[in-house]
Structure 1
Amino acid sequence: MKFLGLVLVIAGFLFFGSCANEPEQDEFQIGFSQAMTTDNWRKEMNRAMQVETSMHPGFYLEIKDAQNDVSRQIKQIEELISNEIDVLIVSPIQSVPITPVIEKAMNAGIPTIVIDRKIEGSNYTAYVGANNVEIGKNAANYIVSNSKPNQKLELIEITGLQTSSPAFERSQGFNEVISNQGNMDIVASIAGDWEKTSVGDNLKSILDSVGIIDYIFAHNDRMAMSAWEVARSKNLEDSIQIIGVDGLFGPSGGIQLVKEDVLAATVLYPTGGAEAIKLAVKLLEGDQIDKNNILSTVVIDKVNVEIMQNQFNKMNQQQNDIEQQQSIINEQVATYNSQSNLLKIMVGLSVLLLLLGFWAVYLVFKLRKRKRRLELNNEKIITQRNQIEKFAEQLKISNEVKINFFTALSHEFKTPLTLITSAIESISQNPYKQLKDFAYETNLISKNSGRLLRLINELLDFRKLESGSFRLKPLKTNLYEFISNIYEDFETEAVRKSIDLHLETDNKEIMIYMDRDMMDKVFFNMLSNAFKFTPKNGQINIKIEETGADKVGVLFKDSGIGIPKEDFQKIFDPFRQAGNNTKPSSGLGLYITRQFVELHKGNISVSSHQGAEFKIELLKGKSHLSEYEFSEDTSEIRKEESEKALKSTFIPEELSQSLNGNAETILIIEDNEDLSYLLKKRLLGDYRVELSDGTDAIEKAYEIIPDVIICDINLPEKSGFEICQELKRDLRTSHIPTLILTALGDEESRIKALKVGADSYITKPFNFEILKESLRAALFNREKLRYYYTNKIDQVKDNKFEDSEQTFLKDLNQIIEKNLKHANFNVEDLAQQMGISRVQLYRKVKAIIGISISDYINSQRLSKAKSLLQETNLNISEIAYEVGYASPGYFSTSFKNKYGTTPKKFRN
């Protein structure tokens, strides 16, 4: 019995093992969300899908009926998405509410086919359905072709549900043709909901009021049937020609109604069910499909109704034959599987002598099956992970755009606030000086208060634009004089930056109507951007030209960094800026500029070739601004000009340095010229100050080897982090304390600054006394380190306590130690072996140790001599030659000067 049981167990193993060897067939799930199944047309759609699906082994269809309930359909689609179906097919009840859940399916990576009705936008894989506009036109053309020339016809249109795309498009196509016929008039339109019950009462009321009409066009055959019943109740069935849509085959279908003279005609509206399944199969098999798949349609009337009915009869018979053949095939497959299993059992029993071999084969197949299962699970996990990563990346990009906006905006606010508070601090600390002594500070307060006001107004303008509350106040204006006033505001800035600023026009009398406040912001923003991105000795050209009989163009061209072609449209979006723009910006200026120009019915465009070129086109005359109230009063213009005449531009005086040679040198790396000037003015009494706008910061630091560096983070070419890191890594400048002075106050920026070697981190706006104390502390700490380096450098043995300065000094000492006995060993030799210049070596050693390199080499010689006197029996002359002195007498003199006694007495 045990043997028999063993035989049965082994036979079972062999059977299942051989089954595992059969290739697995992939299975695909297709989910279909049907709007409703209350009519034969949609039932025919479902049937066509089921039949077509049965033709493709391995494909399974799940149909969910929303029962004409939008919320129910949304819930059903979300269930299909959560079930991770392979393809989603949707027949929307209404376009707008269903759009978000279809976009959710697309974002989840599920291909989505929209059938019959469209959604808002085009975020779907494919659309299947007839051209509803063409259906409306076909119905109208049928009426036109069956009417006599110049015959006066009166029509009634019965539409479908107003919120569905088929109703809108059929009505659009029907009205488009009828409106072109002078002898036809649509006397009434009934808003149905696709069902018979929505037609009767309204149509009776209309027929009672208008009398006999010629044609009724209903958007489907069910509403057309209801219209015929109303006409019959009034004995008008022979007087009114009724046209429907759908053209279904069957006892109550449109084809039968045409044949029975109930309808004059019906427009064939194919369900598209089979076509939708074919597209789904192609998608899952990796084939390319078209985005829009428009089904052909035709008008069915007395002429072709018999032909169409015969065709549908043949198609229906063929469909039934296919279903029967499919059933027979399924039965044959089941029989084949049963016989195959019996054969496998017999083969298993006949080879029991090879138990061990089959057992091993079975194990191999079992492992393969498990491996395949794991591979499928891994693929699914990888797909889900990729989807999550994609969504996370999109979310990250969106968050970064908003974070960058607020970061840039905070930087924009903090810089003028720093200048204002520093200027006020300077004034408050010197209350007894005359106001004229603070002309620069008061000018800073005024200028940066205005800058803050512009930033705040920019935010308010953005809010007004978003809410649509802007109203233009057009005023007749001389365009050249208007731009000239703005141009003059920038002339001093152009002189200060050595920029060639030029304004030209062929006609100085061009008059246009515009809102002066809005366009002042537009042209001011254009020039501000040009100055922001144009380097010193660059060019900015403004050209006013008439581009047509009714147009005038204003071109702003600069020789700055330009704009990448792929960013031409992006820069006009809110919170966005060009990819090559490293300067802080709110990202609202160009957006507001475009909105203001478009409010004037104008246009703004951008191009880039050796700089950026913005072109603003405005219309002449009044007609394009007819919705606004015009003003011819020029008193406002005169007021602006008088206010402008009162303004004065302050040019800061050149600062001179008169300090002794021992004063510490500070290098300020800051691209804001006002802040650089203010810092220099405040620090000149105590330090020697050098300035850099960031473009030459590294080179300037190598050149002057300052004692302290003050560095901003947001700079034109390299960030403050990159500059600090590069200087700290370089042997020539690694010892220099670096103070980061920035508007970025977040912890991440602080940590990043410390990681790249910054010694201090001060956020704007800052107290100037804190900055001065930070400078004193940095220099004091450098002095303490200098004592440590000169007195305890040889006591540090653990490598983890070493920094770049310790490493530098140890290398320096090793080279000096190796060359001490060479009398001609000098500073040039040492610099060459260290790999830096003589001047940089001198400055570096002076900064770290506080003595010259020559004195340091001599000190090392004498220190070595001291050790030799204590530890060896060499005579004085031998020791002198051993440490590099050519003359024993000079050695004795130097030793006595350093240690206060002669070598001989020291040894005794």
Structure 2
Amino acid sequence: MHNSVKYILLLFLASLSLVSCKQKQGNKIKVGFSQAMTTDDWRKQMNSSIKIEASLRPEVELKISDANNNIAKQIEDIETFISNKVDVIIVSPIQSKPLTAVVEKSIKAGIPVLVVDRKIEGENYTAYLGADNIEIGRITARYIISNSKGSGKIIEITGANGSSPAYERSLGFDQIINENKHFKVENTIHGDWEGESVKVPLKAILSKNSDIEYIFAHNDRMALSAWETAKTLGLEKKIKFIGVDGLNTVNGGIELVKSGILDGTILYPTGGNEALKLALKMYNKEPISKNNILNTIVIDQNNAEIIENQMDKVDQQQVVIESQQGAIKVQEREYASQNNLVRLLSFFLVIILSLTIYSIYSTISISRKKKQLERINQTVIDQNNEIQEMAQIAQRSNEAKLNFFTGLSHEFKTPITLIMSYVESLIENEKIKGTTLIDEVKLIHKNSNRLLRLINQLLDFRKIEEQKFTLRASNTKIYDFTNEVMTNFKGEAARRNIDFQLICKNKNLELFIDRGLMDKVYFNLLSNAFKFTPDNGKISILISENQDNTVRISFKDSGIGIPENELSNVFNPFFKASNNNKNSSGIGLHLSKEFVLLHQGTIELKSKQGTEFIITVLKGNIHLQPSEIVNKAENLNRTPNLILDNLDIGTDLNPDIVISESEKHTLLVIEDNIDLVTFLRAKLSSEYVVYTSDGSDAIEKTMEIIPDIIICDINLVDKDGYEISKELKKDLRSSHIPIIILTAQSDKESTLKGLQSGVDQYLTKPFSLSILKQSISSLLFNREKLRYYYTNNIYRVEPESKFGNQEQSFITKMNDIINRNVENPKFSVEDLADKLGVSRVQLYRKVKAIIGINISDHINNVKLEKAAELLKSNNMNISEIAYSLGFSSPNYFSTAFKNKFGISPKEYKSST
């Protein structure tokens, strides 16, 4: 019966697999595309066109790897394609030379390679596809020569060094320019294809030589950056700018030509679809040319609009193609579903028979299952009991840890009480002079160190548990070291009349120890000895040499001892002996053992008529790793510096809390008192990136770094704090920065004057550091709340809303201008900056500081909000809305809309 049911079930599963699976219709053609980077629109358009071409060919399986402008990553991507045995590899090189070897490796492996856009060194590839970069350089030169009406002086901005397009474009450009004596390349700037690489060197050149007629940049991004740089010098109308790429995108070459920023741009086609077509010809071993050149033209005011319309029509056709492909896929799914239904009907009788037999089998197996469930139930009960036992163990462990922290808290009370009492004594006895005051300060310092030692002991326990300690052993005279530590306890020994002595025959005996860790071991053992030894008792340290090249260090006291049955538990964490009625943490001896083990030594305990701890360590340093040995020991008896020690305590208490530089807020301290600057930098550097100014360059430094918050003194050299605050609050670039005023003037008039200057906080000297820190934290928090408000109400900020002053007015005015021009496709960031009376860079920084996003994204968000309103009205279709709001294509509009609202425009329109 069992075998027959099994057979029926297997038949049933086989029928389902036949129904649900479709046979493969031939093998896919695997095409691997190694893209150099996708940081610019040109690369994105290349990727888009090759994807669309691949979608039209169901036999093609396209894999695109983005190297992110990293040569090593691109080589690794191509190696992966080779190991995966793809059929064809398409490579868009970052640089020529580094990729030559891996391309040759692919050719040797029998995989044809199509190099696009940029070439590798040599000719060891199957084919090349791209524009003729030498001809692009020539076309540009001829265009300049034929249209020149001025000095004939030219500045050339090249692409990145090592890039074949940069080299070839310069080569072709120089060939034509050098033939005409009237024209001369005055300067060449070596850019990196990005706009920021152009501004500084170009500004320096134009400042010295403004008689430049043309600037030729190897791509439109650098050409735009050159125009922006020239505009800062008022030369943007005097100089003509030529770029390369001719993309039909926002801030692309065509748009820049139409807006008059560029005089012309050379079309540099991406060739994505042609690349895939050529790759398939290579796969099918069809005859092809070694070098396949894409056509290019000059785009200027005469043909920019025509070419833009043609490209828009191509984009529309691509959208239609994608829509048709989607419809085909739907039809394929429907066909597959119907085919599956027919097959299901064909096997329906087989399934019924299988279920009938299975039901009979199920009836027989129910009794077996019941018994099995009973066994499982018993197992669950047993496991539950085990879980309860484990829970009880965990509860006891948790209680032990809570007791540890409670005990440690009790130990903190004594030193804290001493510190407070003696501080109060100093305050009440201001006229007391001489040694009494000095003794009290020393006592305060002693108890502070005791408290710090307890805290460090807790941190040491955490480090030991996480195995973060590294031994730093140095050659040490053990007698002198022991004597130094004993000095800390001799006062208490004298006060309690305890016989406290050190016995050592060889006072020059040397051992390799970590002085810091061994100091903690000594302190723990001696603290325990003094804690449990009665007055008039005896404590001794005996250092002796053994015959086996070891040294024995014995700590012996005449205290209460430890019960014999508890000796094995003494070094366990959180252990407390039954005869111990004193508050203790229970980790000191555990740490001592761990520190001794780090020295490859041992520690043992004897308890008869008192307690004796015996440490045994090896002589020499052969037993230690080279990394554990240092040449110079730490000085335990350094003169304490109360200020510097206090500054370091914060770091010691939080060893694992480290704020990275990128996460810190920036803080500018405007103060001419060097001591106060040093103090504030030391106290605040762990939480903030601190910049300083003596007041002479306060305004300039603020505009340079744009800090998150400013601390400013009143009495400064050139301008007082009121004047600096007033200027910063009036300037649009810095009006959003919170300012804290520090001053010794606490009268009402001074406070009022500070508030009238626009400062956000007014603190009088001497100030509390904790209050200053909280003030900084609160102002930054309020600034974040303001940013959150603007971010969430950015499209609804009204003039009557009493939330901000300059920032609110600025946001309101900016939104009003954007809304008035939202349906103007030619409206740009530069236009908005002009209407607001600021530069493009200032506008970017201001908007970034207030709402946390760049101005282009904000304008797009306003457009998308407007698009949502138009979609609700149902008066326009999606394409009409996209073009009315200045989007380059409905496809790009749909992508942007979905990124913001999470659904496509079509879905949004149908849902309203």
Same fold (TM over 0.5): no
**Shorter-normalised TM-score: what interval?**
0.3 to 0.5
TM (normalized to structure 2)?
0.37
Q: Which has the larger radius of gyration?
A: 1
